[in-house]
Amino acid sequence: MTTRHGINWDKALQLHAQERERFIAARPQSRQLSGQAGQHLLFGVPLHWMDDWSTPFTLYVKQAQGASFEDVDGNQYVDFCLGDTGAMFGHGPAPVARAVAEQAARGITTMLPSADAVWVASELARRFGLPYWQFAMTATDANRFALRWARAATGRQQLLVFNGCYHGTIDDVFVDLVDGQPVQRASLLGQVYDLTQYTRVVEFNDLAALEAVLQDGQVACLLAEPAMTNIGMVLPEPGFWEAAQALCRRYGTLLIMDETHTISTGMGGYSRAHGLAPDMMVLGKPMGGGVPCAVYGFSAEMAERAQQAKREAVPGHSGIGTTLTANMLAMAAMRANLAEVMTEQAYAHMFALAGQLAEGLRAVIARHQLPWCVTQVGARTEFQFTATPPRNGSEADAILDSDMEHIIHLYLLNRGLLITPFHNMLLVCPQTTMADVERLVEAFDSFVQQVI
């Protein structure tokens, strides 16, 4: 018998073959659409990573509402992926849908601000504690723009990130540690210059390494998630961020918090919940209830430095901003989402259910004596193939197992339960019910029983 992460791998492979056949039999329309898509869509999908799910062919969605969606074959699903945070507050929130419909009838984009922009900026300042804000279409754009502002304000060129990070598709962040040395990520396509010239990388939770790369005074900013979420969740050790923040201040390095995923922590994100004071903050896909938009905020001091840098620059293109940024449709969606959807009541509901989900998964793992663990950040929960939660990107990367993930994900999908691809993250939204959570835990338990 072959074992892998505490399970019988031979049984797992046999179960996977059965689940593939079950998926195929139940989804003839998705199969037909997948065949047609191959004629005109590169890799047969609108974006190439849509081909990386656990399914034998692409699953096509007919409609999505609240915590559930329906595929084109009429199969119903409870969604614990929620657009990988893009729909963290549910699919098609009614206030956002109404605001979008009303605004679309009045106009979508003009390159001029609407009154909603003033309201949204004021609300962002109230929630997140940063007094000045700008807008973008995606968190990738917002991170890119924040990085430009940081370099312009400090006059420094170097960027610092944590090993295993993900901050969208800005080139600068794709540097990893391999045997302790910074290396450009091998999977990048079309990269023509060496990213390690201007990007430094250290392990998360390593204060000594952090100080070592900051002390020459050349690092413009540290761009980081307060808890790593894209390589599997990695939580900060007690006191880490307080000390890291102090080091950044000592060496004149700006701290940019990317809270696109850790907004799951609460109304003001992880930073506000834990008393941190970043110089800048980025928030992306959940902000508009599914409508493409992102925001990035500035402390008062950073805002003054950024404005001074712009005033002193040569007139011309700044490299910051896109034509559709802060369009009227996005601003209307954000206003409705902030005012009526991202509420204290919504978070309270989500936290309670996420806690129940985490407890249920831990109980299954303990009952079957699996060497796995469960990590939680607010409404975000993840099970990982290790008995001890990882403390940095290298440890998190070492426990990733895409083959195992695909088997579990497909098993759950065939039982009407969708979780996030690439790792094992689960989100709950305001419309998720206790029955949904119990159904997920029961299916997880059923899977484990079949492969041990």
Nearest to 321 by CA among 310, 337, 329: 310
Check if the beta carbon of residue 379 is closer than 8 Å to that of residue 351: yes
Chain segment 167-181, per-residue pLDDT in tens: 999 989 999 999 999
CA 262 – CA 224 distance, rounded (Å): 11
Band (pLDDT 50/70/90 cuts) for residue 345 is very high
Average pLDDT on 4-14 reads: 96
Q: Looking at residue 422, what is its pLDDT? A: 84
Chain segment 231-251, per-residue pLDDT in tens: 999 999 999 999 999 999 999
Chain segment 72-113, per-residue pLDDT in tens: 999 999 999 999 999 999 999 999 999 999 999 999 999 999
For residue 76, give every residue at least 6 positions away whose Cβ sits within 8 Å of its Cβ, in sequence order, or none: 68, 69, 70, 416
Check if the beta carbon of residue 87 is closer than 8 Å to that of residue 93: no
Query: To the nearest whole percent, how much of the chain has pLDDT over 90?
Result: 98
Could you give the C-alpha distances from 354 to 60, 371, 395, in angstroms and in order?
27, 21, 24
Q: Looking at residue 105, what is its pLDDT? A: 98
Q: Looking at residue 258, what is its pLDDT? A: 98
CATH entry, 94-341, from 3.30.450.80, 3.40.630.10, 3.40.605.10, 3.40.640.10 = 3.40.640.10
Band (pLDDT 50/70/90 cuts) for residue 1 is confident
Average pLDDT on 342-358 reads: 98
Q: Looking at residue 183, what is its pLDDT? A: 96
Chain segment 287-323, per-residue pLDDT in tens: 999 999 999 999 999 999 999 999 999 999 999 999 9
CATH 3.90.1150.10 occupies which residues in the chain? 3-79+344-451
Q: Looking at residue 158, what is its pLDDT? A: 98
Which spans in 251-343 are helix H?
269-273, 300-312, 328-336
Instruction: Give, in degrees to the nearest 5, the angle at Cα 422 between 418 and 424.
Output: 55
User: Taking the mean position of all CA atoms in its chain, how far away is CA 359?
Assistant: 23
Chain segment 132-161, per-residue pLDDT in tens: 999 999 999 999 999 999 999 999 999 999
CA 272 – CA 73 distance, rounded (Å): 44
Chain segment 13-38, per-residue pLDDT in tens: 999 999 999 999 999 999 999 999 99
Average pLDDT on 219-240 reads: 97
Residue 203 pLDDT greater than 90, yes or no: yes
CATH 3.40.640.10 occupies which residues in the chain? 94-341
Round the CA-based radius of gyration of the chain to a whole number and report it. Answer: 22
Check if the beta carbon of residue 282 is closer than 8 Å to that of residue 256: yes
Nearest to 58 by CA among 31, 20, 90, 19: 31
Residue 162 pLDDT greater than 90, yes or no: yes
Q: What is the mean pLDDT of the chain?
A: 97
The domain over range 3-79+344-451 is classified in CATH as 3.90.1150.10: yes
Band (pLDDT 50/70/90 cuts) for residue 439 is very high
Determine the 3-state secondary structure of 77 from DSSP: strand
* pTM (two decimals): 0.97
